[in-house]
Amino acid sequence: MKPGSVGRRAGADPDADAPRGEGGELHQQAGGERPQLTTNMGVVIADNQNSLTSTPRGPTLLEDFILREKITHFDHERIPERIVHARGSAAHGFFELTKSLKKYTRARILTEVGERTPVFTRISTVAGGSGSVDTPRDVRGFAVKFYTKEGNWDLVGNNIPVFFIQDAMKFPDIVHAVKMEPDRGYPQASAAHDTFWDFISLTPESMHKIMWAMSDRAIPRSLRFIEGFGIHSFRLVNEEGKSTFVKFHWRPKLGVQSTLWDEAMKLQAADNDFHRRDLFESIQAGNFPEWELGVQLFTEEEADAFPFDHLDPTKIIPESLVPLQMVGRMVLDRWPDNFFAETEQVAYCPANVVPGIDFSNDPLLQGRLFSYLDTQLIRLGGPNFHQIPINQPKCPFANHQRDGHMQMQVHKGRVNYEPSSLQDDSPRADMKAGYRSFAEQPDDGVKGRVRPESFADHYSQARMFFRSLEAPEQAHVASALVFELSKVETPKVRERMVGHLINIDQSLAQRVADGLGLDALPPAQKAAMAPIDMPAAPEVRIIGRMRETLKGRAVGILIDEGSDAAALKALVKAAQSAGATVKIVAPKLGGAVLSDGKKQPADGQLQGTPSVVFDAVAVLLSEAAGKKLAKDSAAVDFVAFAWAHLKAIAHDAGAAPLLKAGNVGKDAGIVDAGDTQAYIKAASTRQWAREPKVRNLA
């Protein structure tokens, strides 16, 4: 693939038609003269879209003082909360290699089969603050710290395999845009506002990520049911110094699961800590979450044949081009002893790699290598944050770095430099065992602020993603776009965004335009490169790939005075045998006396334990209780929302008045409580055929 330039500006230019002088400067506008963009030292910036690279395809140069100033200032904007990924939950566990990659790498964690390496994994939302809720529509960070024998390796990614931007120069801008608007301080943990969509509608490279973010991937059912991706291409380097590109994937053993949008919104009211509580309770119960580690391996020559540039972080490599190989597993089996000391103080950095793992020239990755370390310096108080127990390597470490804020080691001896001859036990570099960067032969090119022309296709993979989804998932994407853009006050932003959707899929654009009440489709946005039709990528779907099982899921059973004891016992046994967690819900927390005269304790009180927290429900009521609860709004909501959220409902005759009050209809998911086998089958999946009966989608 021949690198080149698509021009010095990336994305749409809101001032493209404004009158300019011979040097390109903006002339006087109706609203007054627009100020020039400068550094903090007053130096006018010519290009705020691209980092300085040695060639069009990288690597990024440390001399880029504009990039360093911009990201440094951005990294230091919040104290002490993380700027992004502030809301997170984490757990300890281990990684076990099941297939050696010795042919490709010298990294021992990827060559020693059966070896168990301690890990600490943190999963987080991106946009909200630390006090926000668990379940908004958002990307989830997926960061794993491996405490290997050769030092710490941090694999820092997301649950979505692509990013919004191609160059780290734009990272402060995308985060500023999605965060609370600076003049009003809201919305919190939401992208549904003008500044975000203004930025996105002017940034065509974001279109693929937007398709993922508006899909059900952004509203997961649980942290245990999400995939993880390293996003960037990395390099594996073997003992001979030969390099192979790699992309990392985490696949949950329980399969991928999402919520519905209405369900996610109601979960915010039902339990702000829903995902954190779910992870905690699963670990405490011994139902340890597990993921498989998969890799896509490919050579430089294979990459050159792709119809896209693998260094572009807004692109995936479809598995039809490079199959996924499973090489290991990760199990999370221990909750942190102290949330602040571990979950809050853990510091991840993509630059933390071990010998045998190296970086590609992905321009977003290149910026992240600088940004994360710089962020930790301010957030954790100085250069010694690696000495905090959760960040310390579990292998020996020694160097000549000394003193600094919060120094916790007592260094002995007179030598703190190299070379030296005064102290025999002074640490020395080791040419054989030490980390060696891959000796890359750079592309021919001219230093400058440019995007390679191989990064110019912004719509083909967005189209591939949308057209690869099942029909209900496509409807969810369209409806999510209508919801988000309906919150945007500025008409031109809404119309500009629909203009991008035309380039992705005409039917999607029309559905969104109809949902927004536009009289006609706006003009399509000009594409730097005409989109192409790519083969479907089934791996991006959830429906059709999710596992039809109750293992790892939750069933809620509503009871009251006089409920059938035998039916309850049979349902509990069947659900637990299928791997589900069962919780009993009753109008009173103390529970209820069943038909056998025995008191059944409750795990949750009805008003505080709605059906949205379960994957399937059952209702076992006496005739009297059924009539009584049919007049109770919390009970009516319990069954009405289970029906609306496409969940299976088992019921007995006494529950009939309540189901009628909740407008619960009939389909394969509404099952007689006596038929436990039929219920387990129905409860193992959502009833997608029901959705057109319960909501109007775009």
What is the rounded average pLDDT of the residues 418-439? 87
Q: Is the pLDDT of residue 22 over 60?
A: no
Span 60-88, pLDDT tens digits: 998 898 899 888 888 877 657 888 999 99
CA distance 190 to 268: 12
Which ranges in the chain are annotated with CATH 2.40.180.10? 65-207+218-391
Q: Is the pLDDT of residue 292 over 60?
A: yes
Span 573-608, pLDDT tens digits: 999 999 999 999 999 999 999 999 999 999 999 999
CA distance 95 to 110: 10
Span 501-544, pLDDT tens digits: 999 999 999 999 999 999 999 999 999 999 999 999 999 999 98
Domain 65-207+218-391: give its CATH code. Answer: 2.40.180.10
Which ranges in the chain are annotated with CATH 3.40.50.880? 554-694
The SS3 call for residue 291 is: strand
More confident residue, 214 or 72: 214
* Radius of gyration of the chain measured on its C-alpha atoms: 27
Q: Which CATH number fits domain 456-540: 1.20.1370.20, 2.40.128.50, 1.10.10.10, 1.10.3720.10?
A: 1.20.1370.20
Span 341-363, pLDDT tens digits: 999 999 999 999 999 999 999 99
Categorize the per-residue pLDDT at 25 as very low, low, confident or very high, splitting at 50, 70 and 90: very low
Q: Is the pLDDT of residue 18 over 50?
A: no
Q: Is the pLDDT of residue 21 over 60?
A: no
Span 240-260, pLDDT tens digits: 999 999 999 999 999 999 999
Alpha carbon distance, N-terminus to C-terminus of the chain: 39
Distances in Å between the Cα of 268 and the Cα atoms of 115, 130, 395, 557 are 40, 15, 42, 21
Q: Beta 554-558 vs 581-586: how paired, if at all?
A: parallel
Task: Kindly report the backbone phi and psi dihedral angles of residue 142, in degrees, each rounded to the nearest multiple of 5, phi listed first.
Answer: -140, 95
CA distance 399 to 402: 9
Quickly name the fold that domain 554-694 has. Rossmann fold (3.40.50)
* Residue 301 neighbours by CB distance under 10 Å: 7
Cite the active site residues: 85, 158
Q: Is the pLDDT of residue 500 over 50?
A: yes
Span 378-388, pLDDT tens digits: 899 888 999 99
Give pLDDT, residue 78. 67
CA distance 687 to 670: 10
User: Given the structure tokens 């304790």, which residue do they identify?
Assistant: 601
The distance from CA 573 to its chain's CA centroid, rounded to whole angstroms, is 35
Give pLDDT, residue 3. 40
Q: Is the pLDDT of residue 7 over 70?
A: no
Which ranges in the chain are annotated with CATH 1.20.1370.20? 456-540
Distances in Å between the Cα of 425 and the Cα atoms of 346, 418, 422, 428 are 31, 12, 9, 9
Contact 332, 283 (CB under 8 A): yes
